[in-house]
Amino acid sequence: MRFRNLKKQQKNRQNPKQKYQYARFVDRVKALITDMFMIYAPILYFITYGVMDGRDDFQSSQVAPLVGVLLYGVVYAFLLSRFAQTPGKKAYEIKVLDIKNGKNLSFVMAFVRFVAFLFSATIIVGLFVQFFRKDNRALHDLIAQSVVVNI
């Protein structure tokens, strides 16, 4: 048997567990920025000018930014649980799936993933965990048992 054929057989034996093509960090960041503009910015605009009396009231309020983040989290969790994608993830052709069964996350786990993302982004270290893992899963993915994959 030729060496290159033997090497191909060894490669095929080593990767039977990997059934996903993991999304790149750059695509994930681009999707996040797109989601911030398409989902979060309109929520903040509505709260600022539709509910409150303007920018000054919004900036002086401690509750309004919290309500904005919670609404964004609910919309984000709904979209992930229903479609496994947000508009930004759809634009960059990536999905968030449950790593155990390959299906969409439940609403609760999608919301847990969002809260864990807020924590990961706050401590920054949680976002860089994916650079040290072969499966590109960040801390919030590990907590929510999710994986971000290319379509």
Residue 127, pLDDT score: 86
pLDDT band per the 50, 70, 90 thresholds, residue 15:
very low
Q: Does a structural domain hold residue 6?
A: no
Q: Does a structural domain hold residue 12?
A: no
Largest CA distance in the chain: 78
How confident is the prediction for the chain on average, in pLDDT? Answer: 90
42-71 pLDDT, tens digit per residue, is 999 999 999 999 999 999 999 999 999 999
Q: Does a structural domain hold residue 61?
A: yes
pLDDT band per the 50, 70, 90 thresholds, residue 20:
confident
Region of poorest pLDDT, from 6-15, 32-41, 57-66, 107-116: 6-15
Which residue reads 């930014």 in tokens?
65
Domain housing 46: 20-150
* Angle formed by the axes of helices 63-83 and 107-123, nearest 10°: 130
Residue 12, pLDDT score: 56
**Total domains present in the chain:** 1
Grouping H, G, I as helix, E, B as strand and the rest as coil, residue 103 is: coil
Does the pLDDT value for residue 4 go beyond 60?
yes
pTM: 0.83
Q: Does a structural domain hold residue 131?
A: yes
Residue 4 contacts residue 41 (beta carbons within 8 Å):
no
